[in-house]
Structure 1
Amino acid sequence: MTTRKSKFNIFLIIISGLFIGLAFPPFDLFFLIFPGFAVLIYNIFHAEKLAEVFIRTYIILLSAMLISISWLPLSGLRENADKFLIVGGLLTIILYPVTYMIPVFSFYFIKNQIRKLFPENIIIPLLIFPPVWIGFEYLMTLTEVSFPWLTVGNAFTTQIDKIQFIDITGVFGISAWCLYISVFLCLLYISAKKQSGFNFRNIVFALIIILLYISPDFYTTLTGSKSKYSADYNKDTVKIGILQPNINPWKKWGGKQGDLVKDYLNSLNELSFRNPKPDLIIMPETAMPFYFLHPSYDDRFQLFKKLVDSSGVPVLIGTPDLETYTNPEDVRIDSKEFSDGKKYDVFNSSILLQKNSTRENIQKYDKIKLVIGSERMPYQEKLNFLQNLIKWSVGISSYQTGNDTVIFKTESGLNFNGVICYESIYPEFFANFIKKGAEFCVVITNDGWWGKLQGTYQHNQFAVLRAIENRRWIARCANTGISGVFDPYGNKYDQTEINEKALFVSKVGQRNELTYYTLHGDYIGKITMGIWLGFLIS
């Protein structure tokens, strides 16, 4: 009997992990995350030893990640891909669940201390789980080893009727809403095990679950968000030309760059003179697989400048940028060095090329949030041996971090950001651009590494959250897809297919109102982290 029960418990643990994984895009079975976390909470709560906590939690989270982020190692199996992705991806899936032992062990410890004070009360300790978990989620957005891809709230990007309230709370508000539903599901199960049927406590827990679940709908209805779902341009519309070139990211570095430049020029020429004529054209991250602003590539720079000067349409371009330092005070601790002793750094940049631009006065933003390992090793300025630990053959390793956020300004008066790829998963970081004056947003990315794996769909969906949080239109340009436009209520327009070339003009609106979330950022993350650390210290 014990063996049969043990096997059932293991089966239930694995199933709960699969439920959590299937809640994320592209599966979008969001409702499964509620019982998935309820089982996780129950197993932590009833574990008698720390070893049990570790084993149960690890199995659940490993199962979840095998579903939700299996694209990490699988992307290494694609044509021409670096096989290190297989190793790095597998290590991430194996080790990432271990990081969550920080909030899990914290909750287990806090729960035990509370139960010593209130032995018969299970409600108070269980209510502590959400702030502990969310506090850790927030912490994961602050460090250089962060990977906030699986923030609980990220599972609800298709449920735009439910998540309109994040213009006040941000994505951590969704996490809190979801986890408290899971807590009360857990309480209902514990209560029902003790006394089944329609007893008062069971009814109360069931009613709380129902009220929690429908509460976001009240906000959506009362604020009229649902009736504003389309064509809310607010100010004059901006026509955005989007170029999705569909270039194999593994082949373009060091390949036939002359042909690539010609293809880009032809595409830009076609877009620039379309009717209606775009006000801005955007190209994807590292569209130029060379140092576009470096004097040695001046002939190519002049070709694009000539086109922009003749059309009058500004172009936002993703490119690596090599900066050689002339002022010793600008040199970083981990800056690289040429054979002649000069110091330099390479940045993953977005630049705005407009009429009369020169290499010297061009507006440029250098990516700040860099991907761990593939773009930069964490804390390499303090741990120098890490800097050259991983070398890629595709021009993306060991980037330097940018200094500050930048708002691009066109001569016609457009104000927008140029967020690059991975940065779009950091909610408060993204909101800082809007606080600084972005009236609409631009995300440029590659995503060609993943093809049609889950990562491509997940990354695209995260723009839904950023649009609603800040009530801003977002134009997204990806190398191989998915490109498109998002309105301030999370609706998607002109979404492209993956692995296709696409040239199109879409419309976005300009807005200058600031949401409560934009102004105050991740205050829920800060509060919950304070609660978590406060309980630990006390």
Structure 2
Amino acid sequence: MSKFREIVSKYKNIILLFISSFLVFLSYPKISISEISFISLIPYIIVIFNLKTKKEALKYGFIYGFFTYLFILYWIFPTLRAGDVNTFIAISGVALLSSIMSVEFIIITFFGYLSKNCSVNMMIFLMPSVFVIVDFIKTNITRYLPYFPWFQLGYSQWNNIYFLNLAGLAQVYSITFVIVLVNSLLASIIIEKENGKRIRKLIIAFLILFISFYIGRLRFNDLEKAIAFSDKKINIVVMQPSIDFYMKWNISYVEDIKARIEKLLKEASSLKPDLIIWPENSLYGWIDDPDVFTWLCKNIKETQTYHIVGSISKTNRRYVSSYLISPKCQIIGEYNKRVLVPFGEYVPLRNILGKFIGVIGELGEFEKGNYEQNPFNLKSINIGQTICYETAFDYLFYPDDDVDLFVNITNDGWYLNTSAPYQHFAIAVVRAVENGRYLVRAANNGISAVISPNGAIIDKLNLNEYKIMHKEIKITQIKRQSDIEKNVFVFLSFIIFISFLMAMIFR
């Protein structure tokens, strides 16, 4: 027993970091026990309280980031293996990515260490600020550099519907700020020696949660009323053909793809919708291939309605695209994907990594579309487009109020039955709430859904269901937050951070 205690004592910090990372994993999709997020960081913050040197801060920040991303991004391993990537390379890939992304937590831990040396109260407020700043930078740096901002603590609240509605007022950053602030307060209670201070901090933590929940509930109810009184509607059908992505480009599978889609189209057209939405890359070939386009037109004309079709194109440049197509098969709108998936649609540092990773296969690499693209217009309804994991980038969602409805088409068939499709879906729910608009998600093999402006899942198709989804959507005209209003927690975080730096310089 003494030997066991000795080992635990020696590796106490690493054990605490592992526990914290695992709790974050439990709070995150696919498990999604969202309440755990409010205590998940306590072991991590306790470790920061006990750090003695800057070197320790860097070391344990790396370890925590590595553990956390290893849990969150484990799905990359089975995805790479399904793409015939060597086991060693697949393991190395996950480990390398987790190591690179641990830089986020190295930064957070380092500033947490510096702030706790000033005072416990300084650390309580600096920790949520640095979390928000790191999330904001890693999302927006993708305008210029490749990065993968897949993980944000705020996404863990996708199914905590009242608390989630804070994002409609001040984006997902507000949720992250509150989560980290509550964790910091609770962790400080464990460190605090005076009972009076402990009680005060516990009361403050519960007040913050109560006020956040109450504000979110008010917004949820306001949106419910706005939706109920809306008289602008669109009747849509979402197709989920559940085509085996790893067989998709096998020529012997073409007739099966056609049959699956034609069956769904026949069922969809009988409902006489205004719009039928196909998932990303849903055709059996390139849309500009004459045979493929002829087959597509034949089926569209038979339905006698409008379609949004996801396809790859190569007429001018190689794009991942979506098209708005009229009942007469005229292309009246085109959207080209603006942020491509690393290793799925292009290989960063291709001269080096391209020798080892062949996920792209025979399709080759694609090019980015222009950042400034107009929404589709259908019967006076403006439809904002995103493709696949573009939902992870809030700046891609049109900044004005002209967009009435968002459509996200995706193909998560790459990721099998891992956490990835659920994590991807959770991000889409948050984007719907942030923008105060319905978001319709069409996924090849799921999860397809109609998400209301307040985050309620109106209808959905589960993973690997072969089915259509029919809904009438009421278009809301709720005014969206201005850039200043929606980024208030980002501004607050920078103010706190700069104040801390000034205090460090002039103390």
* Fold shared, TM-score > 0.5 on shorter chain: yes
Q: Separation in 2 of the partners of 1:26 and 1:425?
A: 17
Question: 1:98 matched to which residue of 2?
Answer: 103
For the residue of structure 2 that corresponds to 1:149, the secondary structure is coil
Question: 2:445 matched to which residue of 1?
Answer: 480
Q: CA 1:323 to 1:519, structure 2 compared with 1: closer, same or farther past 3 Å?
A: farther
- Please list every run of 5 or more consecutive structure 2 residues that lacks an aligned counterpart in the other structure: none
Confirm or deny that 1:516 pairs with 2:481.
Answer: yes
Alignment of structure 1 residues 29-428 onto 2, 5 Å: 29-78=33-82, 82-83=85-86, 86-109=91-114, 111-112=116-117, 115=118, 121-143=119-141, 144-191=145-192, 194-195=193-194, 199-223=195-219, 225=221, 228=224, 232=228, 234-256=230-252, 258-259=254-255, 262-263=258-259, 266-267=262-263, 269-275=265-271, 277-292=272-287, 294=288, 297-324=289-316, 345-358=317-330, 362-378=332-348, 385=351, 391-394=358-361, 397-428=364-395
Q: CA 1:204 to 1:257, structure 2 compared with 1: closer, same or farther past 3 Å?
A: same
The one-letter code of the counterpart of 1:92 is L
The one-letter code of the counterpart of 1:307 is N
Q: Separation in 2 of the partners of 1:39 and 1:524?
A: 25
Q: CA 1:8 to 1:46, structure 2 compared with 1: closer, same or farther past 3 Å?
A: closer
Query: Is contact 2:258-2:284 (8 Å) kept?
Result: no
Query: Is contact 2:223-2:454 (8 Å) kept?
Result: no
The one-letter code of the counterpart of 2:410 is T
The one-letter code of the counterpart of 1:348 is V
- 1:262-296 deviations in whole A, cap 9, x for unaligned? 32651354145213x1111111111125321x3xx
Q: Separation in 1 of the partners of 2:156 and 2:59?
A: 24
Q: Separation in 1 of the partners of 2:229 and 2:149?
A: 31
1:438 to 403, 406, 412: 403
Q: CA 1:219 to 1:451, structure 2 compared with 1: closer, same or farther past 3 Å?
A: same
Q: Separation in 1 of the partners of 2:352 and 2:318?
A: 17
Query: Is contact 2:16-2:47 (8 Å) kept?
Result: no
- 1:124-181 deviations in whole A, cap 9, x for unaligned? 2332121112101110101233322211101111100212122111000000111110
The one-letter code of the counterpart of 2:127 is F
Q: Separation in 2 of the partners of 1:263 and 1:529?
A: 55
Q: Separation in 2 of the partners of 1:388 and 1:533?
A: 41
Question: 1:333 matched to which residue of 2?
Answer: none
Question: 1:490 matched to which residue of 2?
Answer: 455
Query: Is contact 1:428-1:521 (8 Å) kept?
Result: no
Which structure dedicates a bigger proportion of its chain to helix? 2
For the residue of structure 1 that corresponds to 2:479, the secondary structure is coil
Q: CA 1:317 to 1:457, structure 2 compared with 1: closer, same or farther past 3 Å?
A: same
Greater Cα shift, 441-450 or 137-146: 137-146
For the residue of structure 2 that corresponds to 1:371, the secondary structure is coil
Q: Separation in 1 of the partners of 2:253 and 2:373?
A: 29
TM-score, length of structure 1 as denominator length: 0.83
Q: Separation in 2 of the partners of 1:421 and 1:4?
A: 44
The one-letter code of the counterpart of 1:108 is Y
Greater Cα shift, 152-161 or 81-90: 81-90
The one-letter code of the counterpart of 2:285 is F
Q: CA 1:517 to 1:30, structure 2 compared with 1: closer, same or farther past 3 Å?
A: farther
The one-letter code of the counterpart of 1:278 is P
Q: CA 1:258 to 1:15, structure 2 compared with 1: closer, same or farther past 3 Å?
A: closer
Q: Separation in 1 of the partners of 2:364 and 2:482?
A: 34
- Please list every run of 5 or more consecutive structure 1 residues that lacks an aligned counterpart in the other structure: 116-120, 325-344
User: 1:256, CA displacement in angstroms?
Assistant: 3.4
Q: Separation in 2 of the partners of 1:397 and 1:189?
A: 54
- 1:172-211 deviations in whole A, cap 9, x for unaligned? 00001111101111221111xx24xxx3211111110110
Q: Separation in 2 of the partners of 1:419 and 1:489?
A: 19
Q: CA 1:397 to 1:24, structure 2 compared with 1: closer, same or farther past 3 Å?
A: farther
Query: Is contact 1:37-1:182 (8 Å) kept?
Result: yes
For the residue of structure 2 that corresponds to 1:350, the secondary structure is strand
Greater Cα shift, 159-168 or 218-227: 218-227
Q: Separation in 2 of the partners of 1:279 and 1:519?
A: 36
C-alpha RMSD over aligned residues: 2.9
For the residue of structure 1 that corresponds to 2:413, the secondary structure is coil
Q: CA 1:86 to 1:13, structure 2 compared with 1: closer, same or farther past 3 Å?
A: closer
Q: Separation in 2 of the partners of 1:67 and 1:467?
A: 26
User: 1:523, CA displacement in angstroms?
Assistant: 4.6
TM-score, length of structure 2 as denominator length: 0.88
Q: Separation in 1 of the partners of 2:265 and 2:39?
A: 53
Q: CA 1:353 to 1:299, structure 2 compared with 1: closer, same or farther past 3 Å?
A: same
The one-letter code of the counterpart of 2:278 is M
Query: Is contact 2:166-2:215 (8 Å) kept?
Result: yes
For the residue of structure 1 that corresponds to 2:312, the secondary structure is strand
Query: Is contact 1:421-1:445 (8 Å) kept?
Result: yes
Percent identical among aligned pairs is 23
Q: CA 1:536 to 1:365, structure 2 compared with 1: closer, same or farther past 3 Å?
A: farther
The one-letter code of the counterpart of 1:50 is K
Q: Separation in 2 of the partners of 1:505 and 1:235?
A: 19
Q: CA 1:428 to 1:530, structure 2 compared with 1: closer, same or farther past 3 Å?
A: farther
The one-letter code of the counterpart of 1:135 is I
